[in-house]
Amino acid sequence: MSDELHHRLSPSSAHRWLDCPGSVALAEAHGLAGKDSDAASEGRLAHEVFAAMLLGEPLPEAPEDMVALLRPGADTILAHVEATGGHLYVERAVPLGRVIPGGFGRADVIVTWVDDCGPQVWVIDLKYGMVRVDPSHNPQAMLYAIGAMDDLCDGDPPRVLIGVFQPRAGGWRRWSPCPGDLAEFAARVAAAEPLTHNPTALSPTARACEYCPAKGVCPALAASMPTEIAENSIASTPAMPEATTVAPDRVATILSAKNTVEKWLASIYEAARDKVLAGGQPPPGLKLVAGRLGTRAWADHEAAKEALVGALGEAAWEPRKLVSPATAEKLLGKGSEAMPATVQFPTAPVFVPEADKRPALGAPALPLGAEGAS
């Protein structure tokens, strides 16, 4: 994982630089390279725990539920290695020079073995997030697969199996690319690589821009913003149109861009804040101040306990609270007959594209331009 952070074309951000190759050069030009947000500390710890389980090493200190969630995945891999007499590689740096000059990536897990069908390679990517990741045509996993084939497989080309283990989003998912899938993907990467040196080779898409480190400085993203937002965000006297007066087709454009717009505005805020904290000038007319004080906490928990129990007795403690359904299920085990019935209440309604499978609330949408025609 750490080596990837030092290569400009990391597999973990391949979904972005394949869609928008210029994002790499643009981020580099602004000192923003390597600031993708997918290296969260919780995810890093999960990878360390998973690696230790597979290598039979002492586990790093980690929450019990994380250990419990990761264990079945590690057991599945270890059982497979034993059953096939295969080789296990953990956090293996694999070369990507075939498609990215000087490139490499660090695969979470690779298993190789030979059976009646010939050589096999299983590339496994651990994902600890809760947004479901699909292994099919997954650029990160396909890069690892290319690296694993070049690094570990001599002779006949192996059959490749890609696995995503995502314990908080459904567990295992697998995909077996055919040789044509990998060849086509390798050609796509090789074609994109030269463009990653060109900061004007920009191509905004919701998927690429969402976690792009350069979105706060990106002219292509700013140009793609709905004009009501882009123009008014930079106006000296903001004059957003009254919400009820915006035409329906513009409302559709604005709502479709909501996530990207929010992240774009947040990135501008963060960039300005980081600049001031690093000793730079604040934006004209603004200053950075300390945030409001957070919730009060005991300065010395043990001393507070002693004082409050002495003064209040039992009243010093919070009343007992029933565990949540999620905690009860964890304690009782899935499918336990002791589990009481649960209900779920919908959260606030959300706008989604018409193609979404969920039934619509209210009247059906009219075709664009039809509103007001009668």
Positions that interact with ligand SF4 (CB under 6 A): 16, 20, 23, 26, 202-204, 208-209, 212, 214-215, 218, 220-221
Shortest spacing between CB 27 and ligand SF4, in angstroms: 7
- Do residues 264 and 216 lie in contact, with contact meaning Cβ atoms separated by under 8 Å? yes
Two tokens, residue 140? 């990160």
**Distance, CA of 206 to CA of 260 (rounded, Å):** 6
Write down the least CB distance from residue 90 to ligand SF4, Å: 32
Among 211, 7, 197, 222, smallest CA distance to 97 is for: 7
**Residues 6+ positions from 203 with CB-CB distance below 8 Å:** 19, 20, 21, 22, 220
In the complex with ligand SF4, the residue whose CB is nearer, 269 or 298, is 269
- Both structure tokens of 265: 């505005």
How far apart CA 239 and CA 237 sit, in angstroms, is 6
As given in the structure block, the two tokens for residue 159 are 């059959």
User: In whole angstroms, how close is the CB of 212 to ligand SF4 at the nearest point?
Assistant: 3
Q: Which two tokens stand for residue 320?
A: 């007992």
Give the residue with the Cβ less far from ligand SF4, 8 or 215: 215
Query: Residue 265 Cβ, how far from ligand SF4 at the closest point, in Å?
Result: 13
Task: Output the smallest distance, CB 41 to ligand SF4, in A.
Answer: 24
- Describe the chain by its helix, strand, coil percentages, rounded to 5: 45, 10, 45
Output the CA–CA distances (angstroms, integers) from residue 157 to 123, 149, 150, 151, 184, in the order listed.
Answer: 15, 8, 10, 12, 16
Q: Work out the burial of residue 237: count CB atoms within 10 Å of its CB; fewer than 13 is exposed, 13-18 middle, 19 or more buried.
A: exposed
Shortest distance in whole angstroms from residue 21 CB to ligand SF4:
9
Residue among 28 and 48 whose Cβ is closer to ligand SF4: 28
Which residue do the tokens 């454009």 mark? 253
Contact indicator for 20, 209 with CB cutoff of 8 Å: yes
Closer by beta carbon to ligand SF4, 203 or else 256: 203
The nearer residue to ligand SF4, 112 or 260, going by C-beta atoms, is 260
Q: To the nearest whole angstrom, how small is the minimum distance from the Cβ of residue 266 to ligand SF4? A: 13
Query: Cβ closer to ligand SF4: 177 or 216?
Result: 216
| HSE-CB of 99 using CA atoms within 13 angstroms | 29
Question: Least Å distance between CB 214 and ligand SF4?
Answer: 4
By beta-carbon proximity to ligand SF4, the closer residue of 123 and 208 is 208
Kindly state the smallest distance separating residue 14's Cβ from ligand SF4, in Å.
12
Short-list 128, 122, 154, 148, CA closest to 43: 128
Residue with smaller CB distance to ligand SF4, 124 or 209: 209
Give the C-alpha separation, 1 to 226, whole Å: 37
Residue number with CB closer to ligand SF4 (66 or 217): 217
